A and B are shown apart, each in its own frame.
Chain A
């Protein structure tokens, strides 16, 4: 398949503006500037692009939520915090093809009529930040940024803002608070950022990958996009060739594992996959014959999330794996809401007890109950993100309670084995841990 999003990857000096131009860069921009903002928003709606940051919210719809009659300036925030475990696709875009990101930001800013755009990049992406800085300067020199872009009268400034190492600052309102110089404590919604965002002004927050999509829709048309929608998948774990892969959205998970990533090494067997970043329910091996898109994964009881696909083979201890996840959420909870602050920590402790041979049978129910007591009861979705891997997605038929379909129940015999025998059912986990 022709690479669209990752076309520049592997090309020498791909970060250089002249190289980008030589490969057809900045060709969508003049076309976009000749359209009206409303036409661009309609184009995003027609193409059906859904957010690549995790929640999968339709992008065109989000943009149309901006209030028409608010005289305050609008802002575009590019969410490059990329801290969801198992996710590393935005990094590829920013480090190997920064001008694609910048072109996407200019078009998107024009579409929502923002004159200031911030790239909130995670602090650890030092290389990415440097590359973006250089690329932004080149874009200013060539007149793609600044006043009167390409003679259109449109004006835009892009600023790179480096985070300080908190997962929660990737949540859109946590990001906004952090950008304002405050503690990254997510805000209660409503009001949504589109109405009351950064500095109290209408704001759109989108993921890096989301914001490059308009380039390709403009260049190739809505119909092409609908037929060929490209998506980046972050393949990690027990794979022969882990990495970021571009494939058509909806590619089968087994095809990604076997064909793209060369399968599972050392003759081991697939045990489980977390398909959408650490925040989504895990799939058993037999559930992995699934299309990697928003709807199919939702139907399979998981989610596409950030497309951070973590593959585990049969040497993986599922108790240890869950403990590892729980450590992460307990460490990253911002500490604002009671259920998340305390609940994530409790889950970590219970999980740790089981893993280290001090578990009790009733701890399994306690974990499920605790997950239920967090999910849906917090300010931001980090609480859900911690609960879902433990106890699955909310189930309408259970009054919104979690359906129980993730680590604890799907691998229950392993947890029970741990509790009864005070040791691991599988051989010692290897370097992945």
Chain B
């Protein structure tokens, strides 16, 4: 451990730790482009230069480490290094780097999707020259199509090489290369080998400028209109931490208010996904766009599914359950629903003396991205559901016996896309979001919110309980499942009510053994969720 002075603050710096990290700990943000804690340090952008006492040249904070000095040699009698991050020398160097970067930059911010979250913009405002001295012609190379989902706006590149290092060190797929030299250097792919792997979306997040642009997001929205919500990817049992960027504002020339999730980005969690997510997770919502969403409750009348009100649908459910008799009813939870939702389903079933079960996750391919240079191999799990462990736990089950359960007279299904119906039960009640083979056969459909439209927790494959948050409102008449459960309970004469999903979690943690170790305070710090609407 060495002690350094940065500007006028003291901070301890571990052996091998870089100055930029230590500075961050005391709230000093040194600007940077090429540095990334998960990849090889190249120290090439020169944005992070700082002034270190005793060094003839400015030093890159992203690659400079500090060792302990012998007692007699300490600076100011106690420090192993004294560093200035904001003196004139440093400011001049930063200004110069930014000026250099703009020399061949098209400055097409008005039509760039990165505008608003671009580090070239941000640093230029903060550290740049405000008067241009660039009178010479610029080199503006053409945009390139790198592969199925990414464009390279070549002229915007600042050559930080983060994207190249990602494909070399993290995905190991090595599609991206630098071609040409000097100010002609460009990011390229080899002919016939496009940028195409399940981790590729990450390079768009990594690009500090608007050079790498996701085709799914191109010209779709402006980042200053986004609201961020912390979430968990439901794509597989890994449980990657994500951020949902939601557009709350009116889209240009559109009448209605847009309330959609515009993109999904990784959120750093060193224990789970580090800085990355896979493209299955990133484009998870793309698949939903092709399906038909169920927006209102449905009831089968005279053989045909017809739209109805929540009141009649809920009444119909309790009527069916009552007439069948408790022994003939099963409530089937879902590995795609949250712990809280499965817990309430189980509680409802228990109150009715009905049986419970859980449906199985869908299994698919697993893929591991591993290279010698990466400490954290990234595995996309084969269990394509976020919460099988949690659902079993919340329901007090050890495994799924769904094939037997489906033979009961009344089947209440939480989610339907992973259920294979061999023969239709007498009464099939589905709480689901999209039309599919199962909902077509249902007698009652209750439209449910998606993970972006409510809050709750998932338990990942390692037993880690993580919370996702509501980002947008459920469309149409659809409702959060935990709220549907309250409705069903009340209709069947059970006397329970929860103001928020946090209240459900509190009770669940206390009453279900498997959640004992969960710290409610970290999951639900305020206990009451913002934006969560309470159903009367």
- Which A residues lie at the B interface, using CB under 8 A? 166, 168, 183, 185, 188, 330-339, 341-346, 349-350, 353, 366, 373, 376-379, 394, 396, 399-400
Q: A341-B185, A376-B56 are in contact. List 14 more A-B contacts (CB 8 A).
A: A330-B183, A331-B182, A333-B183, A335-B159, A336-B44, A338-B44, A338-B46, A341-B159, A343-B100, A353-B136, A373-B99, A376-B57, A377-B46, A396-B56
Nearest opposing residue in chain A for B57, CB measure: A376
Bound complex: CA A346 to CA B100 (Å): 8
Nearest opposing residue in chain B for A370, CB measure: B96
Bound complex: CA A140 to CA B466 (Å): 67
Do A373 and B100 have beta carbons less than 8 Å apart?
yes
Do A338 and B158 have beta carbons less than 8 Å apart?
yes
Do A342 and B46 have beta carbons less than 8 Å apart?
no
Most chain A Cβ neighbours within 10 Å, of B45, B99, B178: B99
B133 in contact (CB, < 8 A): yes
Contacts of A332 in B (CB 8 A): 181-182
B43 in contact (CB, < 8 A): yes
**Would you list which residues of chain B between 31 and 49 have a CB under 8 Å from chain A?**
41-47, 49
With both chains docked as a complex, state the minimum distance between the C-beta of A361 and any C-beta of chain B, in angstroms: 14
- Which B residues lie at the A interface, using CB under 8 A? 41-47, 49, 56-58, 60, 63, 89, 92-93, 96-97, 99-101, 103-104, 133, 136, 158-159, 161, 177-178, 180-185
- Listed from nearest, the 5 A-B pairs whose CB atoms lie closest are A335-B185, A373-B96, A342-B100, A333-B182, A345-B183
Do A341 and B182 have beta carbons less than 8 Å apart?
yes
A-B contacts, 9 of them at CB < 8 A, read A335-B180, A335-B183, A336-B161, A338-B158, A341-B159, A345-B183, A377-B46, A394-B56, A400-B56
Contacts of B96 in A (CB 8 A): 339, 373, 377
Do B58 and A377 have beta carbons less than 8 Å apart?
yes
Do A336 and B63 have beta carbons less than 8 Å apart?
no
The residue that A337 contacts in the complex, of B44, B103, B177, with Cβ under 8 A, is B44
Contacts of B133 in A (CB 8 A): 366
Q: A338-B46, A366-B133, A400-B56 are in contact. Are A330 and B101 (CB under 8 A)?
A: no
Bound complex: CA A378 to CA B47 (Å): 11
Nearest opposing residue in chain B for A337, CB measure: B44
Do A342 and B41 have beta carbons less than 8 Å apart?
no
* Chain B contact residues: helix, strand, loop or mixed: loop
With both chains docked as a complex, state the minimum distance between the C-beta of A358 and any C-beta of chain B, in angstroms: 10
Contacts of B43 in A (CB 8 A): 188, 379
Do A338 and B182 have beta carbons less than 8 Å apart?
no
Do A183 and B178 have beta carbons less than 8 Å apart?
yes
Contacts of A396 in B (CB 8 A): 56
Most chain B Cβ neighbours within 10 Å, of A166, A339, A350: A339
Nearest opposing residue in chain A for B93, CB measure: A377
Do B46 and A339 have beta carbons less than 8 Å apart?
yes
Do B100 and A335 have beta carbons less than 8 Å apart?
no
Q: A332-B182, A335-B183, A377-B58 are in contact. Are A345 and B44 (CB under 8 A)?
A: no
Nearest opposing residue in chain A for B183, CB measure: A345
Most chain B Cβ neighbours within 10 Å, of A335, A366, A379: A335
Contacts of B97 in A (CB 8 A): 338-339
Do A335 and B46 have beta carbons less than 8 Å apart?
no
With both chains docked as a complex, state the minimum distance between the C-beta of A168 and any C-beta of chain B, in angstroms: 8
Bound complex: CA A335 to CA B158 (Å): 10
Do B57 and A338 have beta carbons less than 8 Å apart?
no
Q: A333-B181, A337-B45, A337-B46 are in contact. Are A342 and B103 (CB under 8 A)?
A: yes
Contacts of A330 in B (CB 8 A): 182-183
Do A334 and B103 have beta carbons less than 8 Å apart?
no
Contacts of B159 in A (CB 8 A): 335-336, 338, 341
Bound complex: CA A336 to CA B40 (Å): 14
Bound complex: CA A333 to CA B181 (Å): 7
Do A342 and B56 have beta carbons less than 8 Å apart?
no
Q: A376-B56, A394-B56 are in contact. Are A338 and B45 (CB under 8 A)?
A: yes
Contacts of B92 in A (CB 8 A): 373
Contacts of A185 in B (CB 8 A): 178
Bound complex: CA A31 to CA B188 (Å): 53
Contacts of B58 in A (CB 8 A): 376-377
Do A188 and B41 have beta carbons less than 8 Å apart?
yes
With both chains docked as a complex, state the minimum distance between the C-beta of B15 and any C-beta of chain A, in angstroms: 14
Bound complex: CA A114 to CA B236 (Å): 52
Nearest opposing residue in chain A for B92, CB measure: A373
Do A338 and B136 have beta carbons less than 8 Å apart?
no
